[in-house]
Amino acid sequence: MGSALDAFRAQQQAAEQIQARLTEVAGLLGQLRSQADSLAGNEHLRAVLRQEESWLESARRTVAEVRHWRQEEQKRYWPGVMKRWVVVLVFALVASAAAGAGYGWSRIRTPPSLPAYVRVFTSPISSSTALSR
């Protein structure tokens, strides 16, 4: 019977130790809860939190605005490039047409002077002189 009584006493001591430990943990939890409540109730921390939330909201608005600007920039890029190239192409065509017209007008106004080697062959020569040469 002694061993059963010793086992019962050992179990009772273990239960008392567990109860003491649980009481200690409950006290620590109570202190922790009161500290958390005091931190949550701290007005300075709440003000900082509100300020951070307002900063985040302004950052969200800024990012959305930048995205919108970027999309608008992408929409306007190719039409601007096309307009520039159309202007360049029209200028090139007008310049080449003007150059061609100027060249043609100068050829009509002044007859071309023939080179010397061409004048020799186009001068009136009798057939007898052409053969003697």
For the record, the structure tokens of 38 come out as: 């005091």
- Please give the radius of gyration of the chain, using alpha carbons only, rounded to the nearest integer: 53
Cβ atoms of 16 and 10 within 8 Å: the answer is no
Report the C-alpha gap between 126 and 124 in whole angstroms: 7
Report the C-alpha gap between 28 and 31 in whole angstroms: 5
Flag whether pLDDT at 120 surpasses 90.
no
**CA-CA-CA-CA torsion sign (17, 22, 28, 30):** negative
pLDDT in tens, 22-64: 999 999 999 998 888 777 777 787 788 899 999 999 999 999 9
pTM check: above 0.75: no
